[in-house]
Structure 1
Amino acid sequence: MRMSLRAVVAAAGIAALAVTTGCGGGGDTPTTPDAGSTPTTGGDTAAETTGAPQRGDADLVIWTDELKIGPITEIAEDFGEDNGITVAVQAVTDLQSNFITANAASNGPDVVVGAHDWIGNMVQNGAIDPLQITADQVSQYSPVAVDAVTYDEQLYGLPYGVEALVLYRNTDLVPEAPATLDEAFATGLELKAAGTVQSAFNLPVGELGDAYHMQPLYTSLGGYVFGRGADGGYDASDLGVGDEASQAAGARIAELGEGGSGALTRSVSGDNSIALFADGQAPFLLSGPWARADVEAAGFGWDVQAVPGFEGAGPAQPFTGIQAFYVASAGANKAFAQEFVGTTMNTEEAMKVMYDGANIPPSLTTLQESEVAADPQLQAYLDAANAGEPMPSIPQMGAVFEPLGQAYSAIIGGADGAETMVATGDTIRTAIAE
């Protein structure tokens, strides 16, 4: 059964979000680890790390990255034993590109695991099939996750993890949570002026900029990247970069930069933003759940919250990233693939294994509830993801990040905010039209 977004909404009672995102961009966002040691598994399951993938002759082949190979292998081994088949779980570098190439040559996996913003490119290349799951099953997942894995009104991925930017706070330096970004910037600047910290507010900018980390600020100030069409999907012809609201956002961001208050600087980048915060040299860090381990190990008191908006402005909406399971269109055993993704993975037990093993906040709502009871701070990560906007998965998003990131770096370095956003919008439109 191929589920359209309208069918999911009607049958499951999931309201389509008026605004919607994983992660993409740069800075300190999580990346696929480099190929390392080969995990070992028992039974008939083969797990390996490869940069030049070879499908092999297993009945069910699953491609993922090294971060997730452990929990996926655990689930896949049980699936293989229950069904009397062999299963190979492989960690593949440059996963999206290698998958599309191998699938086109009919030498790829049956299942691939990756970010939701790959969907547009994978669908454009005919690399994945819609999932065969029911509306009741879809209703178990958070609306933002369902929205993110839906493309052209078809459900293509089974979402298991959600990620979005949050605001970390050193509670030894700032005991009370800021109600607005203005309050956070002002507090950070006071601490910096007093010599208590090196940086007022750790948001990765760097010389190349970081559109991903700037998105909460941009959206609170009224900006958007792509609008939505009548079908609820992103509309590449509706580019918000360079419009009036975008210009106003650029002007306000300029006031926070090196030519203004200095709350944001290019000296903070993806290379040092988490480390500086963990060293106690910044009261705030705008990052994601991937920073939590470093923050916990820092040894000072800390807390986390969804990113607040500017005073008198709109809510801050980071990009929400979804990790999901997909069925390859040219897999050797698509029936096994649909069964594994739609039945075996589509359970709280399997999603719990993924959460424990990969430590990405879950998208299954019952698991969210049970895990928050054990870890109350998880709620802030979920609130941020639910309030965010799914990263546009349309192929045209590939033309956005580099010029928009460079625009933010230039603005924070002293360039005119409004003029820079207009020029950047023109650059993106030209790239999309090519």
Structure 2
Amino acid sequence: MKAMSGRLARTLAVATAAILVLLTGGAVSLAADPLVVWCEPQKQATVQAAAAEWSKKSGIPVQVEAISVLETANKVQLAGPVGKGPDVFCCLSGQLGMLVTTGTAAPIDASLLDLSQFMKVSLEGATQDGKLYGVPYDISSVGLIYNKKIWPQPPATMDEVIAKSRELKAKGQFGLLWPLENFYFTYAIMAGYGGYVFAPTADGWNPEDIGLANEGSVKALKLVKTLRDEGLIPVGTDHVVAPGMLNEGKAAAIIDGSWTLASVQQAGIDYGVAPIPKLDNGKYPAPFVSLKWWHVSSYSKRKAEATQLIAALTTKDAMYKSFKNAEGIPPRIDVLDMPDVKSKPEVAGYGAQANYGSLLPDIPEMNVVWVPMNNAIEIALRGDRTVQEALADAVNIIKQSIAELK
């Protein structure tokens, strides 16, 4: 028998591969090269497992590579143009504006996804100019961490917190602590009263419309000043002192993130996590929320398949497994409602708080906000300027700095 020609051999090889895929219950795909995914190192095993399941059904191989979420944005911009980058990659919410502006992230075809169970805020943050650029897989914010020995149930209102704080002060204890001078924390109160950094628009943010000295922001800072003036939150309360007081049993509650829980657990505190109590306007404080998203690279030649893979990585089952592996809080409502998920205090509390959260503007102008606002809060609390004057001064400085960016 003569040796088969090269063309015939290749044809038989493709046919044999297709038959093997069908026998294993998969679909036939002519894609020879794998889809490449860049994910966080701690998620690699979970992503590989979910991708393998998807590969069985689609017949499309997937190659999962571990890249730090802090490095992916820059690396995609370097590797993508020369054909070395991923089809799917993850990034932090604060990087989205840059990814869209530089054309690094491609718009995602939402018709290929079921987005009905995702938190509204998690999708709004990934949408620019009416187009979806990311699918969320993790959400975080600060919330109320409280000592159940002092508060068996979390306080419902800020008025209740203040009353309890005054009662505990007489005993040498504190009701609620947080770093007042830190704008990242105190913004939650400002946003709850209607303050905002930049006004949202259909295209993103309007840096010329700043709401940090409006009526709501002024009211919020006056409340914060009352807490300081009455000694309910003393001078020197920072992100180290506040959790330390909680761990020593000297504070009933603090406002902080999930990163603090390890020390609370080590201290043996019977704790709970809940949304920051409602203000006297009936609104919840709205702290900044941080998100992580899956993106489709604009350099990918297989964007539809990449989107289908993202859909598989963000199903209820996939995100539940991610949660069980301690990979963060999933922004899917149906996962957060699962009995063994919502029984975890950090999930019940931080998940609920994130639903009331504020998106962190991911535009360059945000960089010039932090220092003036930290200073304004400190100046107002010291009484060097009135609340209105301190905030107005900060907004003027921010506007001047933005003008210098242009």
Bucket of the pairwise TM-score, normalised by the shorter protein: 0.7 to 0.9
Match of 1:365 in 2: 333
Aligned residue identity for 1:268: T
Q: Is the 8 A contact 2:93 2:291 kept in 1?
A: yes
2:196 aligned with 1:236, yes or no?
no
1:124-165 deviations in Å (ceiling 9; x for gaps):
121101112328612231222221211111111111222232
2:193 aligned with 1:217, yes or no?
no
Q: Is the 8 A contact 1:67 1:358 kept in 2?
A: no
Distance 1:176 1:367, change over 3 A: closer
2:148 aligned with 1:148, yes or no?
no
2:401 aligned with 1:421, yes or no?
no
| Deviation (angstroms), 1:84 | 5.5
> How many aligned positions are there?
368
Q: Is the 8 A contact 1:319 1:391 kept in 2?
A: yes
| Deviation (angstroms), 1:286 | 0.6
| Deviation (angstroms), 1:303 | 2.2
Classify the secondary structure of the residue corresponding to 2:286: coil
Match of 2:71 in 1: 95
Q: Is the 8 A contact 1:113 1:325 kept in 2?
A: yes
Distance 1:190 1:142, change over 3 A: same
1:154-189 deviations in Å (ceiling 9; x for gaps):
111111222232211112123343232233234234
Q: Distance in 2 between matches of 1:371 and 1:63?
A: 31
Q: Is the 8 A contact 1:362 1:368 kept in 2?
A: yes
| Deviation (angstroms), 1:424 | 1.0
Match of 2:101 in 1: 124
Q: Distance in 1 between matches of 2:354 and 2:238?
A: 23
2:116 aligned with 1:139, yes or no?
yes
Q: Is the 8 A contact 1:64 1:95 kept in 2?
A: no
Match of 1:432 in 2: 402
User: Where do residues 42-61 of structure 1 align in structure 2 (5 Å cutoff)?
Assistant: 59-61=34-36
Q: Distance in 2 between matches of 1:381 and 1:201?
A: 17
1:18-55 deviations in Å (ceiling 9; x for gaps):
xxxxxxxxxxxxxxxxxxxxxxxxxxxxxxxxxxxxxx
Distance 1:152 1:254, change over 3 A: same
**Structure with more relative contact order (C-alpha pairs < 8 Å, separation 6 or more):** 1
Q: Distance in 1 between matches of 2:270 and 2:225?
A: 32
Name the TM-score, length of structure 2 as normaliser: 0.79
Distance 1:151 1:103, change over 3 A: farther
Q: Distance in 2 between matches of 1:74 and 1:167?
A: 35
Q: Distance in 2 between matches of 1:111 and 1:359?
A: 18
Match of 2:354 in 1: 385
Stretches of structure 1 that go unaligned for 5 or more consecutive residues are 1-57
Aligned residue identity for 1:283: A
Q: Distance in 2 between matches of 1:275 and 1:89?
A: 39
| Deviation (angstroms), 1:391 | 2.4
1:375-412 deviations in Å (ceiling 9; x for gaps):
16433333212222222334432332332233323433
Q: Relative to structure 2, which stretch is displaced further, 416-425 or 220-229?
A: 220-229
Match of 1:250 in 2: 221
Larger fraction in helix: 2
Q: Distance in 1 between matches of 2:70 and 2:235?
A: 29
Q: Is the 8 A contact 1:289 1:360 kept in 2?
A: no
Q: Distance in 1 between matches of 2:353 and 2:223?
A: 23
Distance 1:251 1:346, change over 3 A: closer
Q: Is the 8 A contact 1:222 1:246 kept in 2?
A: yes
Q: Distance in 2 between matches of 1:271 and 1:67?
A: 27
Q: Distance in 2 between matches of 1:315 and 1:121?
A: 30
Classify the secondary structure of the residue corresponding to 1:226: strand
Greater C-alpha Rg: 2
Aligned residue identity for 2:389: E
Q: Is the 8 A contact 1:351 1:362 kept in 2?
A: yes
| Deviation (angstroms), 1:374 | 5.6
Match of 2:15 in 1: none
Q: Distance in 2 between matches of 1:384 and 1:368?
A: 12
Pick one of 156, 167, 182 that aligns with 1:179: 156
Distance 1:86 1:314, change over 3 A: closer
Classify the secondary structure of the residue corresponding to 1:330: coil
| Deviation (angstroms), 1:202 | 2.5
2:280 aligned with 1:302, yes or no?
no
Q: Distance in 2 between matches of 1:94 and 1:152?
A: 25
Q: Is the 8 A contact 1:221 1:313 kept in 2?
A: no
Classify the secondary structure of the residue corresponding to 1:141: coil
Q: Is the 8 A contact 2:106 2:297 kept in 1?
A: yes
Stretches of structure 2 that go unaligned for 5 or more consecutive residues are 1-32
Match of 2:372 in 1: 403
User: Where do residues 258-407 of structure 1 align in structure 2 (5 Å cutoff)?
Assistant: 260-312=229-281, 314-331=283-300, 334=303, 336-341=305-310, 343-371=311-339, 375=343, 377=345, 378-407=347-376
Q: Distance in 1 between matches of 2:313 and 2:154?
A: 38
Classify the secondary structure of the residue corresponding to 1:255: helix
Percent of pairs with identical residues: 25
Q: Is the 8 A contact 1:103 1:328 kept in 2?
A: no
Aligned residue identity for 2:67: A
Q: Distance in 2 between matches of 1:103 and 1:243?
A: 45
Match of 1:28 in 2: none
Distance 1:418 1:246, change over 3 A: same
